[in-house]
Structure 1
């Protein structure tokens, strides 16, 4: 085929650029393709990977062209994510003995985390660093669970008898597998009576009758081979029967009175479950339609319900019946339960009661006190005190109710307990509040009684730091906000000749200062200047540590030279607390660090400007097709056709990219050509949008619908001969598709 003068000019330009920039000469790495497994019968390449612990051996074919790679080169097979993206690829295989083999297979195993329909491969060489185009997309799954699932209501593990669940009055039920570990990490296919449902989660809430079952979604190819299809649960609709408890909704009983709760529905072969205050107390019991109450037990009063379930009825719970005790009353202690009695002191004890006609008897150490028959008592001796209250009226005869016991002690000594108030973290918080949390009276045998509420307002206080009094701090609480006052704090107190000392609390407040480090670069490159880290703060006289990846690497140099990749930071210790700097990440040089926001083959409209932006490098140089420097910015606006060169600098290392710019065709797809051999309109010329694209398929049919031409990467070369046209005017039909999707279709009239 004869090349036009413009095409020849472009080829000359490309050759000139390659000669001017030797580093642009490169090996051609072709996209990898799935290959057959030589260890299995047959010779067909795989189309989907359904791996498991029982089988996980796959092959990918890879080809490449000269020039030869370097002797230390390795070829690396990489896998994309499930969407075909290589932002964080997974390495599958690596070979170092194929540097003179231009056609070979990688063997790999599918990682056990792989599940998806659109995985792609690519091959990367390490010396020189080049990357192949991505492969076609493949379904790939690691089938780590391949047993039938079992589903039940809410995943309880209880499969109903006959596999049927009845739901009532517009209700619903949730189905979930109960025999698969980590159920929520999988994707599912749920079915109702053979119809695939849209839900993909581990559980499904349903209200429509039908036969429900599920399988793990291992994609369009692998799901069937995984054998995870579950049991079937049949969902039926039903109606409630209106269950209730016979009798009044509120019943008052005396202790010992007999009483039986009776369900309103009986004799239908139902199962009954009885509840008190929301908790099950009886059942589920077949035909258990009544419940006898034991009113001799304390706490028999409460809220009672009954629930029925069975083949002839929906699960249904009744309204509550409230049972109250007619003889119940309350006795409430007004004073503290623990009282410290200092010498020459007296204390008053008292109670209140809800009894209608009460009488009182006070006790000391278990013995009744003579004439102590009112609701209050004044005491001046240590011991244990309580009062018995008797109800002398009402419908029921009940036993007396004792109040809580008040313990009265005379202490040998006192001790304080102090605690942090609110959130406090050592060397992180900028302030801290300490406060008295408890005062304990200590008796003869070392027994302790909490008397905080009784005596906290009576003590005088003094806070001490490292044993010395803190000036002005004489309350039970101290608030600190100065890291210069870090140390050990205690609280001292006195009352009527008694002295008390608290436990110790250590306070380390953070130093409120910013620490910044900087570097003269972040990319390690052979031959480049060293990467030096330095601090904005003068480190003379400071205690500090340089860290790499969390490990100390230097404690003496005020600057640090990074010779390895990693995450670096500086920590200064001030007032026993660390001050941590920002982090700087040092990366290894890699051509993938240069990122372009547009494809290197750029199609623009004549008269318009399209800007391409680069990122990731330290500086940039843009050259036109005559090797003239046209910009040093990170972006450039293209207006003219041609080939351009971008050189990105990473320290002393560079990455080059060739950008090809062509104008977008503004003409429509022609519907008439004159195939008469005069060189004018002899060929059917498509716009650049549809021609010379490996993913675009052009197909032409004659007037009877027979295919006469089909080609991807269409070269504007139809018809190749005029001899096939036996009429002066013939009509053909064309269809242009990409990835199976129709882009354009119409007719072509060929005039001979």
Structure 2
């Protein structure tokens, strides 16, 4: 039985190896890539961090792999992880197709300009067969897109103080921020105080402690080579002098009057600077502790502050004082700034005011209009209109206040603006709604006035499609829901003697048809049956494109024979819009697609069965050692030891596995035999695991270490005679090896 199985084993293994060879099974080993020295620079040390810039961006990675050879169309691809070292969406750095017989070579790559971080890894991927190397160690990688010294100032204003010093009084704080770097919020920063690195990493820093402050961009291990270290701002602190502006914090002044603002600290030779709404209005002036607000000056209202500085005092700014106009009131015209007046048309102008006892006078072209003294005015001519309002009941002497001006013009022509309503996307939406959004009156000088609110309900409308009228479409809005309506739309309108036309809008609606492509297989293997892609729609008279990985590969064949792995798709042009099919991914054949639920080397107990189940393939065939088909199921129940062959079919590809079944040993290696000729325990019998296996060598030594027996494929036949045993009890030593590797060793006691 054992000898017969050995014969079958050789036949089955030969058959399996022949199948494996025809299927192109790969066993390449890809090693993790390592940094390499730049051959274009002096020295031979590999890089330890990537510090790329626009001025230098050339790096090398060494890579090696073990045969067998890859396919002739294989490419090796160098990929970069994300900033956390993960490859869920890797970045391709380099790709080579001429290294398929070179087992040790270098990639050259340039770092993308958006890469910044300390935990980037890279790996190498082959395309045929599809294999991936282990990831490299983590490295700092930064593209230094800004490498000039930063400039910092208070709040990033750009005003660097003289001598680089900012003084803080009375426990206040100052915010420092760079002002000369674009997209400042996208960077990480290193802030320092008197040489000590601070915890803050943000664009700005708020400080209240004295010290020398400066900043640089945080480029990790590349920070030193980036040359971004900023200027230094010295922060000093001092006590507040209690500066304030005398009087109340809210002051009202009548028109034409003045008010004197006065600081509460004076006469000490100090320098004063007065501010209104944050801008300097007076100073710096020595002993200038007062400032006069003139209500006769336009825009005098606002928030006023004073700042003092000088020897022996802390530079300090007061709290604000608000100055407003007493007896002031608001005027609001209830009309647009520009009005279009059609022939024989009238308009009403009106005004609202907060004056308590108002009187009115309307003006046209700067001349008072007779008897136009109410809050509204009806007009029928073009010109420039405004109104003056006087409050006769306020606390101050009455003074008229003029409103803003309204221009009333006659139109020379009208223009329409139409636009898509809702979420319309060309060649994706199945309907589109177009509508009038604006009407402009165009004057003789070309100026345009929006008159949509006044005139949108006064026009007569007509939609046009490719220049022709669309029947019954005479409103401001049109909805297109048929691909036959794809084309150019415009809106025309008339009012009195005027005609108006709109801009042109293109409508391209998607087809409501569904395009599907099918394949007779999705796994491509060398020497297998051709994979053919076909369409569910008739392509005879259609304009179409077969695409592979987004690139057009065929525009004439109604079915496509696949020539390589990739993602395939069919696009048909229908009414100026593409009709896109589903995607079919064709992958390279890989024996790992076949999965066994147990080891292919089974050990069973004689008289029992063991079930081995395969998965992942389309169909299966199980053969015994005599090459007889014993099952076409996905599983087989093994009851006898021997060698079997499983062939799994993946479309036009196959994977073969040799299954070895052996009986479990039911006894251990004996350490005592009796050579008394009674037929019981006369021979040293080994378990099936070690006996009759041509790859297992059994060697026996006497007590002096001399070899007395050696046999591969041990036949349980030692000792072959008892004549050599001259003692009652003798000790022998044995060693069992396979391929030079020790499996078992021990002693045998022979009792005569």
TM-score by length of 2: 0.60
Aligned counterpart, 2:421: 422
- Aligned mates of 1:131, 1:614 — CA distance in 2: 21
CA deviations on 1:336-362 (whole Å, 9 max, x unpaired) are 95353644x666555454445555444
The residue aligned with 1:338 is 339
| Conserved? CA contact 2:64–2:105, under 8 Å | yes
CA contact (8 A) 1:440 1:452 kept: no
The equivalences for 1:287-686 within 5 A come to 291-305=291-305, 313=314, 318-326=319-327, 330=331, 332=333, 338=339, 340=341, 342-343=343-344, 349-377=349-377, 385-390=385-390, 394=394, 396=396, 400-403=400-403, 415=414, 417-420=416-419, 422-423=421-422, 424-429=424-429, 430-435=431-436, 437-438=438-439, 440=441, 453-454=453-454, 456-458=456-458, 473=473, 475-485=475-485, 488-495=489-496, 498=497, 500-503=499-502, 505-506=504-505, 508=507, 510-511=509-510, 513-520=512-519, 521-522=521-522, 525-539=525-539, 544-546=544-546, 558-563=558-563, 568-574=568-574, 576-582=575-581, 584=583, 586=585, 589=588, 591=590, 619=618, 651-653=651-653
CA contact (8 A) 1:192 1:211 kept: yes
1:301 shift after superposition = 2.1
- For residues 426 and 405 of structure 1, the distance between their equivalents in structure 2, rounded to whole angstroms, comes to 44
When residues 533 and 16 of structure 1 are mapped into structure 2, their CA distance, relative to the original with a 3 A threshold, is closer
**What is the alpha-carbon distance in structure 2 between the residues aligned to residue 232 and residue 643 of structure 1?**
81
CA distance in 2, matches of 1:244, 1:15: 107
Aligned to 1:742: none
C-alpha distance after superposition, 1:381-432 (max 9, x if no partner): 6655544445556455566444555566677x86462523634555555231
Cα–Cα, structure 1 residues 621 and 283, in superposed 2: closer, same or farther, change >3 Å?
A: farther
Could you tell me how far apart the structure 2 residues matched to 1:95 and 1:436 are? Answer: 56
Match of 2:735 in 1: none
| Structure 1 pair 204–583 and aligned structure 2 pair: CA distance change class (3 A) | farther
State how far apart, in whole Å, the 2-side matches of 1:76 and 1:280 are: 64
CA distance in 2, matches of 1:580, 1:648: 38
Corresponding residue of 2:251 = 251
2:709 aligned residue: none
Seen in structure 2, the aligned counterparts of structure 1 residues 42 and 589 have a Cα distance that, compared at 3 Å, is same
Counting matched residue pairs gives: 636
Question: Secondary structure at 1:261's aligned position in 2?
Answer: strand
1:491-545 Cα offsets, whole Å, 9 max, x none, are: 44455xx464433644626246153332315555544454544444455665555
Change in CA separation of 1:449 and 1:543 when aligned onto 2, cut-off 3 Å: same
Name the CA distance, whole Å, in 2 between partners of 1:573 and 1:241.
Answer: 80
For residues 222-270 of structure 1, what are the alpha-carbon distances to aligned partners after superposition, in whole Å with 9 as ceiling and x for unaligned?
A: 7677777666666677776665443223322233322343445666968
TM-score by length of 1: 0.60
Q: 2:245 touches 2:318 (CA, 8 Å); kept in 1? A: no
Q: Matches of 1:643 and 1:224 in 2, distance apart?
A: 66
Kindly state the Cα deviation for residue 581 of structure 1 after the two structures are TM-superposed.
1.8
Contact kept in structure 2, 1:648 and 1:656, CA below 8 Å: yes
The alignment partner of 2:295 has SS state of coil
Q: Deviations over 1:199-226 (max 9, x none)?
A: 666666667777766666666x776777
Structure 1 unaligned blocks of 5 or more:
1-11, 603-608, 637-641, 661-715, 721-752
**Distance (whole Å) between structure 2 residues aligned to residue 620 and residue 283 of structure 1:** 94
Partner of 1:5: none
Q: Given that residues 274 and 304 in structure 2 are in contact (C-alpha distance below 8 angstroms), is that contact kept between their aligned partners in structure 1?
A: no
Could you tell me how far apart the structure 1 residues matched to 2:206 and 2:419 are? Answer: 48
When residues 547 and 32 of structure 1 are mapped into structure 2, their CA distance, relative to the original with a 3 A threshold, is: closer
- 1:20 aligns to 2:16 (yes or no): yes
- Alpha carbons of structure 1 residues 213 and 367: separation in structure 2 relative to 1, 3 Å: closer
The question of whether the paired residues in 2 share the 8 Å contact of 1:246 and 1:263 is answered with yes
Q: Structure 1 CA distance, aligned partners of 2:33 and 2:559?
A: 50
Post-superposition shift, 1:85?
A: 5.6
1:217–1:583 distance in 2 versus 1, CA, 3 Å = farther
Q: CA deviation at 1:578?
A: 1.2
**Secondary structure, counterpart of 1:20 in structure 2:** helix
Q: Which structure 2 residues correspond to residues 22-61 of structure 1 after superposition, within 5 A?
A: 23=20, 29=29, 31=31, 48-49=48-49, 60=62
The within-5 A match list for 1:261-280 is: 261-264=261-264, 272=273, 274-276=275-277, 280=279
Note closer, same or farther for the CA distance 1:38–1:253 as it changes in structure 2 (3 Å cut): closer
**CA distance in 1 between partners of 2:350 and 2:146 (Å):** 72
Task: Give the 3 Å change call, closer, same or farther, for CA 70–282 of structure 1 in structure 2.
Answer: same
Q: How does 1:725-740 map to 2 (within 5 A)?
A: none
Greater relative CO, 1 or 2 (CA 8 Å, sep 6+): 2
Structure 2 Cα separation of the partners of residues 222 and 15 of structure 1: 63
Deviation at 1:321, TM superposition (A): 1.2
Structure 1 pair 659/488, CA: closer, same or farther in 2 (3 Å)? farther
Q: Is the 8 A contact 1:77 1:121 kept in 2?
A: no
Q: CA RMSD in A?
A: 6.6
1:563-604 per-residue CA deviation (whole Å, 9 max, x = no partner) reads 466655444455x451532452655637599699999999xx
Judging changes above 3 Å, is the alpha-carbon distance between structure 1 residues 564 and 258 closer, same or farther for their aligned structure 2 residues?
farther
Query: Structure 1 stretch 482-491 or stretch 26-35: which is displaced more?
Result: 26-35
Q: Partners in 2 of 1:317 and 1:581 — Cα distance?
A: 70
Distance 1:195 1:517, change over 3 A: farther
**Distance in 1 (alpha carbons) for counterparts of 2:434 and 2:38:** 73
Of 518-527 and 550-559, the range deviating more from structure 2: 550-559
Q: Contact conserved, 1:524 with 1:586, CA < 8 A, in 2?
A: no
Task: Specify the structure having the higher radius of gyration (Cα).
Answer: 2
Q: Structure 1 residue 323: deviation in Å?
A: 1.6
SS at match of 2:416: strand
* SS at structure 1 position matched to 2:577: strand
Does the C-alpha gap of structure 1 residues 135 and 506 become closer, same or farther in structure 2, counting only changes over 3 Å?
closer
Alignment of structure 1 residues 98-109 onto 2, 5 Å: 99=101, 106-107=105-106
